[in-house]
Structure 1
């Protein structure tokens, strides 16, 4: 670090300090602006998470739910989805509680799409990208579906922080979850592999469906994300299904994140890509950009995130619960895109 940058960093640190050298309040104007931001963020999180827990507890009990056709659109995660029978069904299948969290929505969304397209049947073949420790491979194996569960290399996962947060296949010996399937069945129906999602090999072919959950926004750019979706279609048989979820900037007017570690897609990007897919003979499920009006639709979670908090704050706040969150100053949520490959192999 240069001498000038060291001086600037020292000055900024002094301006932002809560107290002066003699432990008196720092009355600097800049500090007055920022000193309470951390506390405001924690307060917002505490109220939002508490509301989410209370709302989940108040949901009516559902027993004996069955898979049902709802005509799933390409859409954003919303409170009404979390409160739906179809999410309750897949949560029960995954042996987890219904909570107001977009990760549960993503899991339920992918399984609902696979079911609605008649592909959750014994002997079907599915290809998962960026699977990490997600439960879908184990669940599909319990349904006698043949699964190839893939992830990025260990080196890339370390660089992106996926291993530290247990989101990479290298964090465990495999994505095997014993509460969903026995080991022998899992080994019979699931194989694991390493894939660079920016260069999917031609050897992956003729799958009935493929999926990814919040992985393609980490490929370096918006265009790379869309190129991956196109390439994922090449792994399918004609008429096969691709279902992908990713980060969406809910504000379509104005700037967004691109060419970065995490990129944020916008409505105009998705609409243009859907038109591109249609021109190639593929079918994109109806686009729905309703972001919801419920309490959890309007709650926007803020940093710091769980892994950046003190142990005391983690204990006080509990597990994060949100459908929308702030990413580098933008409001983001999960969006699911469903594409049926054209009848002609491409």
Structure 2
């Protein structure tokens, strides 16, 4: 029956409705594909087969890594790629595949616009038959607007397969042009808006600098300042155009500028992992309590498996930054849940964290942490915490789950809360930089540099540091 064929007289309206709905759904899919076409990548996009769990051993290819696999039979897992709304197709080629038995299970995993997990599409293929079919397999599904997709492969327990390498590409993903359009729109609109009301004097139009740091995002100009190279040397790193290194430098320079990085000061670090800051601060004569999640906490497993979890003093010690006796005299390690800061952690001159409070479960949990961290300070103490800033939306974002992306309005909400409590919020600038490097968006698999802006699912993000002085 075609869409314009008459419904037989014997059919009731209820009988015809499902068919009309099917045709309506079909035309909606066609219209969505046509609408999405300008925003879709024209050419296949090559993906790193192992970028989602880098360094972990693959059951198929020796080139993946040597750490224990995250899931049994793990073969590959790409990063998540945003869809413009049309059909998305992954093509996997297993170069030099050798197999006599077992199956390959391929799944398209998908996340909705808030980062929630949606039902995957799964395909099971005999590995022996793949050898006969040029070792290639394709899997596709209709992409949802605002959804992001990754392809994952596992092999069955009885598989005897091995491959020389794995190649994966995707068609139907959102083009990088769409990300750049959203970023440029944000620069013209909400990022450049002046403050109003209670925030009129707190949101300032000022270039972000390390010479006089305020609450600000990572920009190329700061990396070019002499202070950047100076602080890189003090934390034992060669300068690079990478936002994570900027976070370390920004925290150090902020504490120095506001007069709390001095001999005898007490500092409290949250989610320190194996970062160099505890050692660098101890070298200046500060007494530090470095904290991280307990190693047996379920939430710590991902960090532990990627060697980013600090579990003891020896693990966080950087011998090239601080003499051993001074470090172990001045630094203590403690297991702390940032969602439940112990009441006895008090009277510190400063607190800090580097890209930690976006991993507390929700935007609200992150804002609560920042507020609660001020209780750990002496009157006049400084809190400086860096996190993710959404550069493409002040409305839609990842607001729940293992990683969230804060918006400008979230920092404004936090500033108002803290001002009402009598704290001094160091002014915020949303200067996003003017150089070409400030407009480069790093796409998965991410590079080691330049890496100031990156695509996180369908959003553009960067690092942002907020500074607050506790009320006297």
Q: TM-score range by the shorter chain?
A: 0.7 to 0.9
CA displacement at 1:213 relative to structure 2:
0.4
Where does residue 22 of structure 1 map in the other structure? 133
* Higher share in helix: 1
Where does residue 88 of structure 1 map in the other structure? 229
Asked whether the 8 Å contact 2:377–2:470 carries over to 1, the reply is yes
Distance 2:351 2:254 in 1: 11
Q: After TM superposition, list the pairs within 5 Å mapping 1:1-346 onto structure 2.
A: 8-10=121-123, 22-23=133-134, 36-37=169-170, 70-156=211-297, 159-170=300-311, 173-305=314-446, 319-343=448-472
Distance 2:255 2:136 in 1: 58
CA displacement at 1:26 relative to structure 2:
7.8
Classify 1:112/1:36 alpha carbon distance in 2 versus 1 (closer, same or farther; 3 Å): same
Asked whether the 8 Å contact 1:157–1:163 carries over to 2, the reply is no
CA displacement at 1:158 relative to structure 2:
6.3
CA displacement at 1:121 relative to structure 2:
1.1
CA displacement at 1:74 relative to structure 2:
0.4
Aligned length: 296
1:162 alignment partner, SS class: helix
Distance 1:9 1:254 in 2: 33
- Aligned Cα RMSD in Å? 3.3
Where does residue 39 of structure 2 map in the other structure? none
Asked whether the 8 Å contact 1:130–1:215 carries over to 2, the reply is yes
Asked whether the 8 Å contact 1:158–1:164 carries over to 2, the reply is no
CA displacement at 1:93 relative to structure 2:
1.2
TM-score where L is the length of structure 2: 0.57
CA displacement at 1:297 relative to structure 2:
1.4
Asked whether the 8 Å contact 1:79–1:294 carries over to 2, the reply is yes
Larger radius of gyration: 2
Classify 1:171/1:103 alpha carbon distance in 2 versus 1 (closer, same or farther; 3 Å): farther
Distance 2:119 2:440 in 1: 39
CA displacement at 1:95 relative to structure 2:
2.3
Distance 2:139 2:334 in 1: 55
Distance 1:136 1:283 in 2: 25
CA displacement at 1:117 relative to structure 2:
1.1
* Higher share in strand: 2
TM-score where L is the length of structure 1: 0.77
Classify 1:330/1:21 alpha carbon distance in 2 versus 1 (closer, same or farther; 3 Å): farther
